[in-house]
């Protein structure tokens, strides 16, 4: 049985470097691991308890929850918007945190990585994402980190999968996440 890792990308832009990182993660996944990119975060409405009613949850939110429930671990890829986490990624975490105490993130390993334009590669956004996932019940792997600075220039003419340094770092991230997920599945 393969460990299923759900990748949630915090950028909706078609040419997003974080989406490209997610694609690269899927390519470098070790044997026994499958990284699946979730499509449709932009369709998920903002979390609102009034619409989170059993039997009438919006279809896009239900699709997100189903994909998350079927996953063994999470790889969240985030740019940095105004020094913090993009709203679309925070919204996904909010939907996955419910029902309180029994959301799809609870007890599952999660790693946060990404790239951003600035010199620190999105570190603030990544820290905020780890905090939100942890509060939502995810088992954040604090020592698995990858923040790649200067995305616009570094990946201007090369896909992250073709950048040897990034591919090696991403391979390590996915392998470590796979190991944590494998342990959790076996427990």
Domains contained in the chain, number: 1
CA distance 31 to 47: 36
* pLDDT averaged over 10-residue windows placed end to end, the chain, 187 residues: 94 95 96 96 97 96 98 98 97 96 95 95 97 97 95 94 96 96 81
Instruction: Output the pLDDT for position 186.
Output: 76
**First-last CA distance in the chain:** 15
The enclosing domain of 159 has a CATH number of 3.40.50.360
CB-based burial, 134-167: b 16+ in 10 Å, e otherwise: eebbbbbbeebbbbbeebeebbeeeebbebeebb
Name the residue range of residue 76's domain: 3-186
Instruction: Output the pLDDT for position 182.
Output: 85
If one counts every other C-beta atom within 10 angstroms of the C-beta of residue 14, the result is: 6
Instruction: Output the pLDDT for position 184.
Output: 80
């Amino acid at each position: 049985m393969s460990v299923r890792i759900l990748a949630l990308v915090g950028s909706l832009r078609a040419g997003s470097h974080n989406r490209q990182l997610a694609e690269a993660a899927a390519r470098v996944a070790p044997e026994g691991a499958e990284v699946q990119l979730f499509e449709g975060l932009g369709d998920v409405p903002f979390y609102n308890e009034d619409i989170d009613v059993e039997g009438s949850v919006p279809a896009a939110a239900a699709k997100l929850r189903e994909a998350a429930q079927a996953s063994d671990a999470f790889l969240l890829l985030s740019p940095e918007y105004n020094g913090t986490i993009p709203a679309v990624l925070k919204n996904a975490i909010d939907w996955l945190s419910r029902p309180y105490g029994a959301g799809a993130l609870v007890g599952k390993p999660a790693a946060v990585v990404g790239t951003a334009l600035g010199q620190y590669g999105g570190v603030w956004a990544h820290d905020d994402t780890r905090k939100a996932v942890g509060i939502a019940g995810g088992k954040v792997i604090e020592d698995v980190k990858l923040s790649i600075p200067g995305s616009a220039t570094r990946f201007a003419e090369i896909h992250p999968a073709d950048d040897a340094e990034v591919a090696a770092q991403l391979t390590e991230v996915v392998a470590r996440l796979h190991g944590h997920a494998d342990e959790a599945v076996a427990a």
